Homo-oligomer: A and B are copies of this chain.
Amino acid sequence: MDYYITAQSRASLWEKHKNRLEEARKAWRERKFWYAFPEDPSQYDSALAQQGEADFKAQLSRPFDRLRQPGKKWVISDEVSPYTQEPLGISYPQADPQEAIELAQKALSIWRWVPWTERLGILMESVERFQRRFFEVAHATLHTTGQAWMMAFQASGPHAADRAVEALAVAYHELDHIPPHVRWEKPTPKEPILIEKHFIPQPEGISLHFGVSTFPVWNTLPGLYASLAVGSPVLLKPHPRAVYPIAIVVAILQELFEEHGLPSTIVQLVVDTLAEPVGKRLAEHPAVRIIDYTGGPEFGAYLESLPNKITFLEKAGVNPVLIESVNDITSVAKNIAFSASLYSGQMCTAPQNVYILRGGVKTAQGQLSYEEVVQALTKAIEELAGHPKAAPAILGALQNSTVAERVQRLSGHGQVRRSATAYKHPQYEQARTLTPLIVEAPSSREDFLRTEHFGPRLIFVPVADGEAALEAIYQLAREKGMLSCSIYTTDSSFKQRAIQKLAEAAVPISFNFHGQAFINQSVAFSDFHGTGGNPAGNASFTDSSFIVKRFRWVQVRDCLKG
């Protein structure tokens, strides 16, 4: 019996990539340092860098004509560069939601029957092809998200590609441990019973993926590749403010599908605008079974409430820092300043509430008062924000103007320790910049402290002692959730208590991050991004759950001797 749809060219791609995928799977299991793509731009051919910049410039103010999907009209997205404050002026084919769903259903009837080996082969090939466009994607990311150059390159290029390979490696792990078929033979007093058994993985249905404006590629690739790996076609609805970076990836996939005799519409870009969103219409369609989403908690809660959907959500949380005791406050302050400033605090892992012991903090150089700790932190922020090279390289720009407005409003909610001011970007005069606001609020201001205030800001919270801080963080985790939690302590028994207390609320803790290690970073093949067990999100990049919830094993038994 051959119910699969096979092709030699796709089988060859599996042969080409399977050793690499095996290596990636091994790395995922061992969780030591490993990467599929180097993060240093200088390790790539300089011709690629030049080409990427040229491609980017050529694309501006022109239709994005690389997609292979229908679209009667072209729509100009809401993309505006946070650096030049000028619209990118790129138009995309506008997909009709109903037509897109019908095309996805047709694609499903083929893609689900392509053997997973061939699927993984073609998907690995797509990541390799994507690599040649890292530089164009970096420019596109910088001018949609406001990320600084190095982050735009790394997060949308090698780090995202690594997460894609990771999703494929986990899919490989999960699809490979059940054999495609087996002869089951049961001895009996007479003749043995002989049954041929087939194990057929089948996707739960069509996937819908919501992109986010801050990390349009990094947050999209895991779910996109996970769904595609298990045979589920994807409707990719990017954030209207950040279409271009992920459109490049979709175009590469569509091109490869076509090259290998498959419908290009296995993945479709569904572009909408802020004025006319189509997300709910797609999400509520009964044919859509799997939903991936990164974004605000309100829309996330709405998606979670839809019946008969399997959701993978990263909503926002409130990320705390606790300074219980330190070796060297200067080094700690620098590290926190960096984490809070990186991409102007617009990372889902950026710290917000900084809990500091009211009675002061033990250090290797003796006890520091609360005020001394506050001053050290404020000074570190000041130095970074005021540094003409560091500020643009680290802070980048604000994705949109509401971020700045929201941060400025915070100053009414506590004692301002540092005002948020713009810094002058050396290259882009019009850049939308803002350096971190620091306010101080008492722990009694629960509503305020249990709300995510997205953007460049830190909120200092004096607390009675370490245990009180752990309790506050525990309650925060239970109620609002968090994607990072940074604790500084030199007391190993406190460390143990923190783990025991907070792991029960599924808090991912980072202890004593300093030097060049930053809590914001979560690396593929070693770090789980999000635990999925607190209100900040119900999924994790990339655990088994992220894959196995997307498909079912369908077993067929053929009785040869009864």
Evaluate contact between B510 and A559: CB separation under 8 angstroms: yes
Tell me if A204 is interfacial: C-beta within 8 Å of chain B.
Answer: yes
Interface residues of A (CB under 8 A from B): 1-3, 29-33, 109, 112-113, 173-174, 177-179, 182-188, 193, 195, 197-200, 202, 204, 305, 307, 331, 335, 492, 495-496, 499-500, 503-504, 506-517, 526-528, 531-533, 540, 543-545, 548-549, 552-559, 561-562
Verify B554–A507 contact, CB threshold 8 A.
Answer: yes
Chain B neighbourhood of A305, CB < 8 A: 307
**Are B552 and A31 interface neighbours, CB within 8 A?**
no
Partner of A509, one of B112, B183, B527, B556: B556
Of the listed residues A186, A495, A508, A553, the one surrounded by the most CB atoms of chain B closer than 10 A to its CB is: A553
Residues of B with C-beta under 8 A to A557:
508-511, 513, 527
B202–A503 CB distance below 8 A: yes
A-B pairs with beta carbons under 8 Å apart, 10 shown: A3-B503, A29-B179, A32-B183, A200-B499, A528-B553, A528-B555, A531-B552, A532-B552, A533-B552, A545-B548
Question: Among the listed B492, B526, B558, which residue makes an inter-chain contact with A511, where contact means beta carbons less than 8 Å apart?
Answer: B558
Q: What are the residues of chain B within 8 A of A335 when measuring CB–CB?
A: 562
Given A182-B31, A506-B554, CB of A500 within 8 Å of CB of B545: no
Closest chain B residue, CB of each to CB of A492: B1
A379 to B350, CA, bound (A): 74
Whether the pair A504, B555 counts as a contact (CB closer than 8 A) is no
Q: This chain: how many copies in the complex? A: 2
Which B residues touch A544, using CB under 8 A?
A: 174, 177, 544, 548
Q: How far is the CA of A531 from the CA of B188 in the complex (A)?
A: 28
Write the nearest CB–CB distance from A421 to chain B, whole angstroms. Answer: 29
Question: Does A548 lie within 8 Å of B554, measured CB to CB?
Answer: no
Please name all residues of chain B whose beta carbon is closer than 8 Å to the beta carbon of A198 when the two chains form the complex. Answer: 499
Candidates B113, B517, B549, B561; contact of A545 at CB < 8 Å? B549
Looking at the assembled complex, report how far the CB atom of A285 sits from the nearest CB atom of chain B, in whole angstroms.
Answer: 16
Contacts of A496 in B (CB 8 A): 1-3
Give the residues in chain B near A554, CB-CB below 8 Å. 503, 506-508, 531, 533
What separation, in Å, do the CA atoms of A354 and B204 have in the docked complex? 28
> Complex Cα distance A562/B492, Å?
18
**Complexed CA–CA distance, A528 and B559 (Å):** 16
Q: A533-B204, A562-B516 are in contact. Are A504 and B109 (CB under 8 A)?
A: yes
| Residue in contact with A29 in the complex, picked from B177, B186, B549, CB distance below 8 Å | B177
Are A202's CB and B31's CB within 8 A?
no
- Given A552-B531, A553-B543, A562-B516, the answer on whether A30 and B179 have CB atoms closer than 8 Å is yes
Given known contacts A509-B557, A549-B549, A33 and B185 CB-to-CB distance under 8 angstroms: yes
Q: Check if B562 sits within 8 Å of A514, measured CB to CB.
A: yes
